[in-house]
């Protein structure tokens, strides 16, 4: 009699179960529609995508292309952080540079850069450098903007306290400003990662001679959705792993907030 009520309670207590149920339902819908309703040259069922992973990796050029794209992502991300952190600090810590430069940064951040993608190809060629540059141009702004915000909302009393105990400028940076902005810095890095992924993949799809962009176009034009979706799954996995690494580090360094 009260079984449905019981099930409701169990689901309510474990949101993870409900989440899992939604994911399973979506995959089922995908599987069923791909098998019976949709033209196989447009969509292939997830079971077949998974089954053909082996075949995908044996396709000549694919492992190399994945390697190149992963490398482009990593380099673009590293440059975004390495340049975004000092720029964010310089802009955030000085009232003058904040007021003079911040509007420019916000303007650039808000501009849809995809319109100038052809210029990136023109300047950097069709190889990896243009992908990296376009990735950086997407990844660096969220990092700068979050760091600027992060160094600004620091409690003045903490600066006064450090000052009263004789802290030097460097010590104030090392022990007050830096730990204060660590959580925002990680949040910025995650946003930056999303930006880098978007930038690199957009540039890859636009024109590509070596990365996975070339193959996604090839598979689409050859009506081979199995391999296309396989490739997309690998990319998604890459994005999830990178995001999770940063998220774990964020939780670790932000212990003092939640504990």
Partner 1 sequence: MTAGDAAIRIRDVSHEFGEPGDAQFVLALSHTSLDIERGELLCLIGPSGCGKSTLLNMIGGLLTPTTGNVEVHGKPVRAPLPRDIAFVFQENALFPWCTIIENVKLGMVFQGVPKSEQEPRARKALEAVGLKDFMGHYPAQLSGGMRQRAALARALSLETGTLLMDEPFGALDEQTRMILGEDLSVLLSRSEKTIVFVTHSLGEAVFLADRVAVFSARPGRIKEIIEIDEPHPRSPSFVTTEKFSRLRNTLYGLLHDEIRKAVEQSATAVPQP
Query: Judged by CB under 8 A, which stretch of 43-51, 75-83, 177-185, 221-229 contacts partner 1?
Result: 177-185
Q: Answer positive or negative: Cα dihedral of 52, 57, 58, 60.
A: positive
**9 or 155: CB nearest partner 1:** 155
What distance in Å separates the CA atoms of residue 134 and residue 204, rounded to the nearest whole number? 10
Residue pair 229/55 in contact by the 8 Å Cβ criterion: no
Cα–Cα distance list, 237 to 40, 160, 176, 231, 240 (Å): 24, 46, 37, 10, 5
Query: Judged by CB under 8 A, which stretch of 125-133, 158-166, 199-207, 212-220 contacts partner 1?
Result: 158-166
List the one residue from 53, 90, 109, 180 that touches partner 1 (CB under 8 A).
180
List the one residue from 78, 102, 114, 158 that touches partner 1 (CB under 8 A).
158
What distance in Å separates the CA atoms of residue 160 and residue 154, rounded to the nearest whole number? 11
Report, in Å, the least distance between residue 149 CB and partner 1.
18
x/- track of binding to partner 1 for residues 216-255 (CB under 8 A): ---------------------------------------x
Residue pair 81/189 in contact by the 8 Å Cβ criterion: yes
List interacting residues with partner 1 (CB under 8 A): 155, 157-158, 160-167, 171, 175-176, 179-180, 182, 255-257, 259
């Amino acid at each position: 009699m009260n079984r449905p009520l019981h099930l409701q309670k169990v689901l309510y207590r474990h949101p993870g179960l409900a989440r899992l149920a939604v994911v399973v339902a979506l995959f089922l819908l995908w599987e069923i529609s791909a098998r019976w309703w949709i033209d196989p040259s447009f969509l292939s069922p997830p079971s077949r995508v998974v089954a053909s992973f082996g075949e995908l990796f044996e396709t000549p050029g694919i492992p190399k292309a994945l390697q190149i794209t992963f490398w482009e992502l990593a380099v673009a991300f590293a440059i975004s952080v390495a340049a975004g952190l000092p720029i964010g600090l310089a802009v955030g810590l000085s009232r003058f540079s904040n007021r003079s430069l911040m509007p420019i940064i916000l303007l650039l951040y808000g501009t849809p850069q995809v319109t100038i993608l052809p210029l990136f190809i023109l300047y950097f060629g069709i190889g990896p450098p243009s992908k990296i540059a376009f990735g950086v141009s997407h990844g660096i702004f969220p990092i700068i903007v979050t760091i600027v915000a992060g160094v600004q909302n620091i409690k003045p009393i903490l600066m006064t306290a450090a000052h009263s105990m004789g802290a030097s400028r460097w010590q104030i940076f090392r022990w007050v400003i830096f730990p204060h902005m660590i959580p925002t810095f990680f949040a910025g890095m995650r946003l930056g990662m999303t930006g880098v992924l978007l930038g690199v993949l957009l540039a890859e799809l636009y024109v590509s001679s070596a990365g996975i962009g070339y193959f996604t176009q090839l598979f689409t034009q050859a009506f081979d959705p199995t391999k296309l979706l396989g490739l997309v799954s690998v990319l998604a996995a890459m994005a999830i792993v990178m995001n999770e690494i940063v998220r774990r580090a964020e939780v670790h360094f932000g212990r003092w907030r939640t504990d």
